A = this chain, B = another copy of it.
């Protein structure tokens, strides 16, 4: 049975870094050519340019630069066929609207110093975080085939593989014996299992082995998790690459028997596949558990954001609560303890126990802690009236707001003076319902827990605690601010998170939530607050996406929205629970007028 020696380089995602990416690609090409004597080297989607280019695609000088870099890499190619994905200027064409696109996502076949052919991605995902229909022209040859020595190979790119009747099926029917697939598939919880199932289904449906290569690393809100996989024609897993780490591997893959060719095949080269001793089978890397993968996604995303944006380290306030504690532990894994600065900023309302827990945590994590007591900042030359002063003293929420503002100011000074990225510690539960305050838990340049519901934060804490007990026990059980102030729609995080997950992550409606056993009042309140909080969420810092429905790049809600949801029951009659989407003017804990 014919075997193709396939080398895989799971390279990192560096948007716009044509020089650095070229260097990494050359190193992989040298490895495949000289160390492995591979037949084919497969790299991730848009390895040359990075994935998540957005409007860089519209800058004609960037497209030219990418073309020049591709030409240079082609010149360096040798015996090995390198399948290199990049952007490619094509004939302008119109598709779903009246605007012409003249750039496509391409997999170029490099061999013998030349570009021997190009495949252009046919299916352009435009949902969730994907925005490819905005930028790219679709490829017009879903059934293209490539001769690599004795083997007829199909090449498709990422989304092309997911339709069950798309380019893989066209290429298989036309005569492909193996399918090679560059991908840029960002992480969300559960994604790795879905990828494996899909890859296996493609292999079985088409009776050919599939080489699925993913990129790694963070790009703004996305984390790419690698975990490239190779399956045989029966869908059995031959190898799995590392998750959340650069990786290279190679193996000899038995291709499907030659098929009747139903279309012309482009020759990449016609040298016969050489006889070689077969490769030694390797054990696929063990997949990470769900919570472990979420942890690594956040650490990876944070690390690459810090590196790409030139920060010297990260700073955050430790309150003695679980959100800031987990954020600090993640930061240590992301950038190392020497680059994490923690601040305890007690106010007159802070207990000794909270500050003591912050100290213990910092010690356990090996990070510096500075203790800076904060006051209610006085912004004006005016002395507050006695009535106003009394009001401040009397209102725990108002005191909370003023102290939060002072803490944000202290962290702002750290950023300005030391160049540290300030981490916001807000979680998705609070951000969903407008309980994360812009000058409190959302104050900062990056929010690692932005896409983690509170119950997921507890999962992350338990996962980290199992590795080593860094969190003081009291800290894990301390009531949250929302619980203390009674400002949420419920004090039960499990109830709240289930409702949010249904409404936000599963796209359910009010009646679905009520049918699942939740109270109408609580469900209505949550739905109402999710809509109302969009205005302040627009100013929230970026975070790492770990679900398929993250605020930020994923969820696009209108701010001004007058829809009045109501219980849907059978026929379209409207009963009960109507509300207006407009916020009450004035005081809500999740807002502060400096960005209100």
Contact of A558 among B15, B60, B163, B565 (CB under 8 A): B15
- Distance in angstroms from A591 CB to nearest chain B CB is 7
**A408 B560 Cβ-Cβ under 8 A:** no
Contact across chains for A563 and B56 when beta carbons are under 8 A apart: yes
- Residue pair A563, B96 in contact (C-beta under 8 Å): no
A309 adjacent to B19 (CB under 8 Å):
no
Asked whether A594 lies within 8 Å of B439 as measured between CB atoms, the reply is yes
Question: Is A559's CB under 8 angstroms from B377's CB?
Answer: no
Beta-carbon contacts of A140-168 to B below 8 Å, as 1s and 0s? Answer: 00000000000000000001001100100
Is A15's CB under 8 angstroms from B133's CB? Answer: no
A555 nearest CB neighbor, chain B only: B55
Chain B, Cβ-Cβ closest to A58? B507
Q: In the bound complex, do residue A97 and residue B123 qualify as a contact, i.e. CB atoms below 8 Å apart?
A: yes
Chain B residues lying within 8 Å of A305, measured Cβ to Cβ, are 559-560
Known: A16-B558, A304-B560, A410-B379. A97 touches B595 (CB 8 A): no
* Cα distance A58–B557 in the bound complex, in angstroms: 10
Q: Taking each of A218, A373, A415, which has the highest tally of chain B beta carbons within 10 Å of its own beta carbon?
A: A415
| Shortest Cβ gap from A533 to chain B (Å) | 12
Segment of A175-183, A232-240, A582-590 in the binding face: A582-590
Instruction: List, in ascending order, chain B residues with CB within 8 A of A439's CB.
Output: 412, 594
- How far apart sit A413 and B398, CA to CA, in the bound complex (Å)? 10
When chains A and B are docked, how far (Å) is the Cα of A305 from the Cα of B583? 12
For A18, the closest partner residue in chain B by CB is B563
**B163, B382, B568, B595: which contacts A98 (Cβ < 8 A)?**
B163
* A55-B555, A97-B127, A595-B444 known; A378 vs B381 contact (CB < 8 Å): no
Closest CB of chain B to A271's CB: distance in Å?
A: 31
A262 on the B face (CB < 8 A): no
Stretch at the interface among A188-196, A273-281, A487-495, A538-546: A538-546
**Residue pair B586, A419 in contact (C-beta under 8 Å):** yes
Would you call A67 and B133 a contact (CB within 8 A)?
Answer: no
The minimal Cβ–Cβ distance linking A92 to chain B, given in whole angstroms, is 13
Bound state CA distance, A96 and B134, in angstroms? 11
Closest to A382 in B: B372
**Do A55 and B557 contact each other (CB < 8 Å), given the known contacts A61-B509, A538-B542?**
yes
CB-based nearest B residue for A71 = B572
Tell whether A411 is near chain B: CB-to-CB under 8 Å: yes
Give every chain B residue within 8 A of A309 (Cβ-Cβ): 535, 559-560, 582-583
**CB < 8 Å neighbour of A381 from B60, B375, B412, B413:** B375
In the complex the two chains form, is A96's CB within 8 Å of B123's CB? yes
Q: Given A61-B509, A98-B159: A416 and B55 within 8 A (CB)? A: no
A374 CB–B CB distance under 8 Å: yes
Q: Is the CB of B219 within 8 A of A560?
A: yes
Partner of A15, one of B50, B412, B417, B560: B560
**B380 near A372: Cβ-Cβ < 8 Å:** yes
Residue A362 at the chain B interface, CB threshold 8 Å? no
Contact A507 to B594, CB < 8 A, known contacts A67-B572, A375-B379 = no
In the assembled complex, the Cα of A97 lies from the Cα of B105 at a distance in Å of 14
Chain A contact patch, size range? 35 or more
Asked if A124 and B96 make an inter-chain contact with CB atoms under 8 angstroms apart, the answer reads yes
Residues of B within 8 A of A586 (CB): 415-419
A592 near B415 with CB under 8 A, answer: yes
Tell yes or no: A308 within 8 A of B by CB: yes
Residue of B nearest to A163 (CB): B98
CA distance A308 to B593 in the complex (A): 18
Instruction: Please name all residues of chain B whose beta carbon is closer than 8 Å to the beta carbon of A17 when the two chains form the complex.
Output: 562-563
Cβ of A199 to closest chain B Cβ, rounded Å: 14
Using Cβ atoms and an 8 Å threshold, which residues of chain B touch A54? 556-558
- CA A15 to CA B52, docked complex, whole Å: 30
* Whole-angstrom CA separation of A417 from B381 in the bound complex: 19
A507 with B59: CB separation less than 8 A: yes
Q: Is the CB of A594 within 8 A of B443?
A: yes
B126 and A96 contact, CB distance less than 8 A? yes
Q: Are B98 and A95 in contact (CB under 8 A)?
A: no
Q: Given A556-B54, A572-B64, A587-B416, does the pair A310, B582 have CB atoms closer than 8 Å?
A: yes
Restricting to A367-423, which residues have a CB under 8 Å from any CB of B? 372-375, 377-382, 401, 405-422
| Closest Cβ–Cβ distance, residue A107 to chain B (whole Å) | 18
B60 near A413 with CB under 8 A, answer no
Given the complex, which residues of B lie within 8 Å of A421, measured CB to CB? 596
Residue of B nearest to A596 (CB): B415
Indicate if A296 sits at the interface (CB-CB under 8 A).
Answer: no
Tell whether A564 is near chain B: CB-to-CB under 8 Å: yes
Interface residues of A in 290-315 (CB under 8 A from B): 304-305, 308-312
Do B97 and A409 have beta carbons less than 8 Å apart? no
Residues of B within 8 A of A411 (CB): 593-594
B419 touches A406 (CB 8 A): no
Task: Give 17 CB contacts A-B under 8 Å.
Answer: A14-B562, A15-B562, A59-B507, A96-B124, A96-B138, A126-B126, A126-B133, A133-B134, A220-B559, A309-B583, A379-B407, A411-B594, A415-B593, A416-B593, A422-B596, A538-B542, A542-B559
